[in-house]
Amino acid sequence: MTQSAKITPDWIALDWGTSNLRAFAMTKQGAVLAERSSDQGMASLTQAGFEPALHALLHGWELPSQCTVVACGMVGSRQGWQEAPYCAVPCPPLSTALIRVANCSDALEVWLVPGVKQNAPADVMRGEETQIAGFLALNPDWDGVICLPGTHSKWVHVSAGEIVSFQTFMTGELFAAISAHTVLRHSLSGNDWDGDAFADALSNILSRPERLASSLFSLRAGDLLHGQASSHARAQLSGALIGAELAAAKPYWLGQNIAIIGEDRLSDLYSFALKQQGITAQRCDANAVTRAGLTAAYRSL
183 binds a second copy (CB under 8 A): yes
- Gyration radius from the chain CA atoms: 21
What is d(CA 100, CA 124) in angstroms, rounded to the nearest whole number?
21
The candidate with the shortest Cα–Cα distance to 16, out of 53, 59, 64, is 53
290 vs 14: CA distance, rounded Å: 9
Pick from 32, 104, 164, 174: which binds a second copy (CB under 8 A)?
174
Instruction: Collect all residues with Cβ–Cβ distance below 8 Å to 281 and sequence separation of at least 6.
Output: 147, 258, 259, 260, 270, 271, 274, 275
Q: 298 phi and psi, to 5 degrees? A: -60, -40
Q: Which of 107, 224, 254, 301 binds a second copy (CB under 8 A)?
A: 224
Site for a second copy in 63-102 (CB under 8 A): 78, 86
Distance CA 259, CA 282 (A): 4
106 binds a second copy (CB under 8 A): no
105 vs 119, beta carbon nearer a second copy:
119
d(CA 7, CA 32): 10
- 175 and 215 Cβ atoms separated by less than 8 Å: no
Minimum CB distance to a second copy, residue 43 (Å): 10
Q: Which of 212, 229, 279, 288 is the binder for a second copy (CB under 8 A)?
A: 212
246/265 Cα distance (integer angstroms): 17
Tell which one of 38, 96, 218, 257 touches a second copy (CB under 8 A). 218
Choosing from 7, 99, 124, 199, the residue that interacts with a second copy (CB under 8 A) is 124
Q: Which is nearer to a second copy, 168 or 295 (CB)?
A: 168
> According to the binding rule CB under 8 A, does residue 180 interact with a second copy?
yes
Question: Is position 254 an interface residue for a second copy (rule: CB under 8 A)?
Answer: no
| 161 phi-psi bin (left φ>0, alpha ψ -120 to 50, beta other) | left
* Interaction between residue 164 and a second copy (CB under 8 A): no
Kindly state the smallest distance separating residue 298's Cβ from a second copy, in Å: 27
Closest CB to a second copy among 51 and 129? 129
Closest separation in Å from C-beta 67 to a second copy: 32
* CB 70, min distance to a second copy, A: 23
Cα separation, 3 vs 10, whole angstroms: 19
Stretch of 54-62, 121-129, 267-275, 279-287 lying at the interface with a second copy (CB under 8 A): 121-129
d(CA 134, CA 207): 34
Stretch that binds a second copy, among 91-99, 192-200, 244-252, 281-289 (CB under 8 A): 244-252
Contacting residues toward a second copy, per CB under 8 A? 78, 86, 117-119, 121-124, 152, 167-171, 173-174, 176-178, 180-184, 209-214, 216-218, 220-222, 224-226, 228, 241, 244-245, 247-250
